[in-house]
Amino acid sequence: MREEREEFYEKNDFQDTVQRYESMKRNKTQYFFDVFEFENIINYYIDINEANSAFEAIKLATKQHPTSAILQLKKAQVLVDKGDPLKSLEILKKLERIELNNYEIFAIKGSALSLLGDIKEAIKNFNYALSLNPENKDELLYTIALSFIQLNRYKDAIQYLLRANKIDPDNPSYLYELGFCYNKINELNKSIEFYTKYLELDPFADNIWYNLGIVYNKANELEKAVEAYDFALAINQEHSYSCFNKANILVSLERYKEAIDAYENYMELEDEIAEALTYIGECYEKLDERDKAIKYYKEALKSDPEFPEPWFCIGNILLKKGMAEDSVYYFKKAVHLDREDPMFWAELGRAYKKMNEINEAYHAYEQATKLDPYNERIWLEYAHLLYDNSLIKDAVTVLTNALALLNSSPVIYYHLAAYCFMTGDSELGFTNLNEALSLDYDQHNEFFKLYPEGRSDKKIKETLMHFKND
């Protein structure tokens, strides 16, 4: 049976068969196809990831050939692909009684069980399928690995991929998936190893160079990442994501002019360019060319007025220029477009503080701390705003809330200690000062910046001396 199917594929008749089948569907007529023809029609749709089309073909196939075990097996396979493992298992249970030594039954059963989360039984069935010594064992190992990849169980997938790779070391699919899986579990050297092996077989695979660039970036080997993206672009000048990622890394390397060139290359290849225009603006900011930066931010807004970042960036420049009132307009636009970004709220709070719009500033900082409760700077600025407006007890409350999440922050303890002394609560002040000093004595000037009179307090000096000597 297998030999006949292989001969069928070798003749490439399946292409004509698929065309005849699709013509039948278009014309809403009925043609007869034998079992092998239907099997190859179904395989065609499976191979191009069209599970619904495959299932439609199976429905017609089982009407014409209701007793065909081969077609029932294909039906079970497609049901797994469609995410219906229970129905697949019902079919497979019947097929097991008929073909005890058909490895495909147990391989598909393993995939169905893995979808149901029964990994132990899935592995048991996969291993049984392998024990039946199928032809092309490496292909079965690869298929099993793909089942685990779909479930994000990359370590399990790797075990099967390594066995497949041992049988066929030069199979690019196995090398690709190994590179992919090792990247997913952050074994970056292994990922680099398998992607490199792939490139030894096919040095002109631009997507593999691109993937290698991603892994080098994760491994913080930024120069190698740029080199990998350059190879991808040398092979395929239209590989836009390589342009974009290369530009981002050049920014990290503070090579802003080169980054601008890379972003501009990206924009020649893509229609949606608001993000790239914004990043060019940020590069010009880093080069201290604010007018050019604003020009690009405004270009980004022309490209996509609903993109919040350029609104925020223009507001930031205006705030730095001392134009707080003008900046508020831009920050409010950014917040309107994305209410979940804590930095938008924090900068809005800073602008309102500069304008002495205190209630609005309180609200903005409150929102920022809710959205990013682990941001030490925002908590400190919020408390300082309250302190500046003689609401010192409220500042104590804010930093006490902050410590519920940031209880290893010496700076928050120092500031809280200072505010406690200001309110006359020296007991709580010493409690927080002791905690701060135990965490980081060297930052004790944070305390005196807020409470300089503490320098002349005998007990405070003794406390500092105690921790200094320790």
The runs of H, that is alpha helices, within 270-407 are 274-286, 290-303, 308-320, 324-337, 342-354, 358-371, 376-388, 392-403
Query: What are the tokens at 140?
Result: 């079965």
For 324-334, letters b (16+ CB in 10 Å) and e give beebbebbbbb
Crossing angle of the two packed helices 119-131 and 103-115, in degrees rounded to 10? 170
The CATH number that applies at residue 404 is 1.25.40.10
pLDDT in tens, 25-82: 888 888 888 888 888 888 888 878 888 888 888 888 888 898 888 888 888 888 888 8
Query: What single string gives the DSSP state of each residue in 354-386?
Result: HTT-HHHHHHHHHHHHHH-TT-HHHHHHHHHHH
User: Per-residue pLDDT for 219 more than 80?
Assistant: yes
Average pLDDT over residues 405-422: 97
Question: Is 330 a member of any domain?
Answer: no
Question: Is 433 a member of any domain?
Answer: yes
Q: What are the C-alpha distances in Å from 305 to residues 76, 215, 280, 316?
A: 49, 34, 17, 17
Residue with tokens 């409010």: 332
Q: What are the C-alpha distances in Å from 42 to residues 86, 126, 328?
A: 20, 23, 60
Q: How many domains does the chain have?
A: 2
Average pLDDT, the chain: 92
Q: Which of 66, 82, 98 is the last residue of a domain?
A: 82
Average pLDDT over residues 375-400: 96
What is the reported pLDDT for 6? 40
Query: To 5 degrees, how large is the angle CA 70–CA 168–CA 163?
Result: 80
Query: What single string gives the DSSP state of each residue in 24-86?
Result: HHHHT------HHHHHHHHHHHHHTT-HHHHHHHHHHHHHH-TT-HHHHHHHHHHHHHTT-HH
Residue with tokens 């080169």: 258
Question: Is 218 a member of any domain?
Answer: no
Average pLDDT over residues 325-341: 97
Give 454's DSSP letter: G
What is the reported pLDDT for 38? 86
Query: What are the tokens at 177?
Result: 């998936």
Q: Which of 58, 82, 106 is the last residue of a domain?
A: 82
Question: Is 333 a member of any domain?
Answer: no
Question: Is 403 a member of any domain?
Answer: yes
Q: To the nearest 5 percent, what fractions of the chain are helix, strand and coil? A: 80, 0, 20
Question: Is 328 a member of any domain?
Answer: no
CA distance 109 to 127: 11
Structural domain that includes position 15: 1-82
Q: What are the C-alpha distances in Å from 19 to residues 26, 75, 227, 344, 417?
A: 10, 21, 44, 56, 79
What is the reported pLDDT for 4? 39
Query: What are the tokens at 335?
Result: 């917040």
Query: To 5 degrees, how large is the angle CA 278–CA 281–CA 286?
Result: 130
pLDDT in tens, 357-387: 999 999 999 999 999 999 999 999 999 999 9
What is the reported pLDDT for 194? 98
Query: To 5 degrees, how large is the angle CA 21–CA 91–CA 100?
Result: 110
- Cα distance between the two ends of the chain: 83
What is the reported pLDDT for 208? 97
Greater confidence (64 vs 269) lies with 269
Phi, psi of 306 (to 5 degrees): -90, 0
Question: Is 267 a member of any domain?
Answer: no
What is the reported pLDDT for 2? 37
What is the reported pLDDT for 153? 93
Helix/strand/coil (H/E/C) assignment for every residue in 83-111: CCHHHHHHHHHHHHHHCCCCHHHHHHHHH
What is the reported pLDDT for 134? 81
Average pLDDT over residues 395-421: 97
pTM: 0.81
The closest alpha carbon to 140, from 88, 179, 89, 103, belongs to: 103
CA distance 252 to 55: 49
438 Cβ neighbours under 8 A, 6+ residues apart = 467
User: Per-residue pLDDT for 464 more than 60?
Assistant: yes
**Ramachandran class of 30: left when φ > 0, alpha when ψ lies in -120 to 50, beta otherwise:** beta
CA distance 315 to 45: 52
Kindly indicate the confidence band of residue 3, based on its pLDDT and cuts at 50, 70 and 90: very low
User: Per-residue pLDDT for 9 more than 70?
Assistant: no
CA distance 163 to 142: 9
Residue with tokens 């508020």: 328
Greater confidence (24 vs 287) lies with 287
Kindly indicate the confidence band of residue 11, based on its pLDDT and cuts at 50, 70 and 90: very low
Residue 112: is it exposed, middle or buried by C-beta count within 10 angstroms (0-12/13-18/19+)?
buried
The closest alpha carbon to 95, from 84, 86, 104, belongs to: 104
CA distance 102 to 366: 64
CA distance 461 to 451: 13
Question: Is 42 a member of any domain?
Answer: yes
Q: Which of 49, 82, 115 is the last residue of a domain?
A: 82
CA distance 453 to 368: 32
